[in-house]
Structure 1
Amino acid sequence: MQRYFVDQSADENHFFIVGDDYHHIVRVMRMKEGDQIICASPLNKSAVCSIAEITDEQVIAEVVQWISGTSELPIEVTIVSGLPKGDKLEWIIQKGTELGAFQFIPFISARSVVKWDEKKAEKKLDRWQKIAKEAAEQSHRTKLPAVKSPVNLKSLIKMGEGFDYKLIAFEEEAKQGEASVLSKTLAEMKRGQTVLFVFGPEGGLTELEVSSLREHGFRTCGLGPRILRTETAPLFALSAVSYHFELME
């Protein structure tokens, strides 16, 4: 059954679907009145709905049954990725959404080869958010992850003040055999808490960046004995969170 994140609801029993989702329902899927879909509301609730009416501008869906339970991770995981080359960030957003990330924040790191172009910023952010939306619908998420504008080191440090835990995936720690910080942090965390994971670009984080983050309460951690690519490391971390909180219980 197709799932759609819906911004507009007339009341507790109806949803209005417009824009790209309207086009997908009517032109791509060629659905008719009476067909069923799943609508995810801005309040992070999902419902099985029946298409009650299709107009020239919108689809009106009527709630048949609200869905209990959630597919969300018990903790909120924010992924900070040093701006990588090519479409690697798109991959991180897509797969990270499938694995349960709460939000994504690109980081303008000293070793980021890609330079952020403010003139193309809005178009880039729209594309990233669309990728997150499609992945969230495919993986039956109840929350739509946000993709934020890129931040610099100073902004990242300030942002970190609002999180319960702050971790830096640092390959030098892995090379030295560090293997306990991540597991101990997850063991300490309680449901509903937040964690900020920082990952470097292809060249990794600089010593200056790591030391600055450490001075403001960030902890470095290894991700096992193998050195992971910039697009692999966030997915490893999310998988570790899922294993600890969802599969070990």
Structure 2
Amino acid sequence: MNRYFTEQSLTLNASVQLEAAIQKHAIKVLRQGVGDHFELVHDGHAYDAEITDVSPLTVKLINDITRSVELPIAVHLVCGVGKGDKAEWIVQKATELGASTISFANTQWGTAKWSPEKLPKKLTRLQAVALGAAEQSHRNVVPTVGFTKLNDLTLATDQVGVVAYEEAAKAGEAAQLVQTIQTHPQSLIAVFGPEGGLSPQEVDGLQQNGFVPAGLGPRIMRTETAPLYLLSAISALVELQEI
């Protein structure tokens, strides 16, 4: 069953008139009609919605179908800006794997840079990618996509931070990620470099702000692969052991 996210407040048994974008997809694209159902989500709660009118699109919320699908750890990915469409790939797949926030940053050694004047359009596009991936993977929330600076990253009291560092992997560091996850933090910020990697100065700055270098296994991964590896590892270490 298709899932949509709405800005409308939802309560069981209520009738709700929905946004034009949802109407276009459900009625124009999927050709749904009165009596058909889809899933509707707002503020982390999902409902079985029955169409009662198609113009404007109006639904009645029949059942609360919310279930636990979010990672037990809120994961904020911070990725160095990469070349081409790597950002869209990261946002789509990281959303499917459970990231709660995805940020991008210009880095010293990155060959690609995002200019301030192009940021609004890029972030709007990436947020739309996150929305589509959240609907497809039946998430309860849509990750927030943003832009940051590495030296602006700080850790709150309930957060831990790791930086995926190629030199740590080369040196054989293999325990830090598991140790960090086993502390059961409420929130984790994980930083990844672009194709050229992070500079020693950037890593030093992150360490001064409480981030710890962590290897991601013995192989060197592409910039778009490493964040997905981390999310998969967290799911295996935390979610799958609870099933």
TM-score for both structures, normalised by structure 1: 0.93
| Structural RMSD (CA) | 1.4
Residue by residue, what CA displacement relative to the aligned partner does 1:42-83 show, whole Å, maximum 9, x if unpaired?
x2000111011121xx41111110014221111100000000
Tell me which residue corresponds to 1:184. Answer: 179
Residue 115 of structure 1: how far off its partner (Å): 2.0
The one-letter code sitting in structure 2 at the alignment partner of 1:92 is: I
CA distance in structure 1 between the aligned counterparts of 2:134 and 2:96, rounded to whole angstroms: 6
Structure 2 gap segments, 5+ residues each: none
Output one character per residue of 1:95-119: Cα deviation in whole Å (capped at 9) or x when no partner: 0000000010101111222221222
Give secondary structure in 2 for the equivalent of 1:26: helix
Provide the aligned length of Structure 1 versus Structure 2.
Answer: 241
CA distance in 2, matches of 1:182, 1:10: 39
Return 5+ residue gaps in structure 1 as ranges.
Answer: none
Which residue in the other structure is 1:164 paired with?
159
Q: Aligned partner of 1:166: which letter?
A: G
- 1:6 matched to which residue of 2? 6
SS of 1:90's equivalent in the other structure is helix
Deviation of residue 18 (structure 1)? Answer: 1.2
> 1:212 matched to which residue of 2?
205
Question: Are 1:72 and 1:142, in contact at CA under 8 Å, matched by a contact in 2?
Answer: yes
SS of alignment partner, residue 182 of structure 2: helix
Which amino acid in the other structure matches residue 128 of structure 2? K
CA distance in 2, matches of 1:102, 1:10: 22
User: CA separation of 1:110/1:15 partners in 2, compared to 1, >3 Å: closer, same or farther?
Assistant: farther
Pick from 195, 207, 219 the counterpart of residue 188 of structure 2. 195
When the two structures are superposed, what TM-score results if normalisation uses the length of structure 2? 0.95
Task: After TM superposition, give the deviation of residue 10 of structure 1 in Å.
Answer: 6.5
Give per-residue Cα distances to partners, 1:181-231, cap 9 Å, x unaligned. Answer: 0001111115xx000000000000000000011011110000000000000
Aligned-partner residue type, residue 220 of structure 1: P
* Structure 1 residue 16 displacement after superposition: 2.8
Percent sequence identity over matched residues? 41
2: distance between equivalents of 1:20 and 1:88?
26
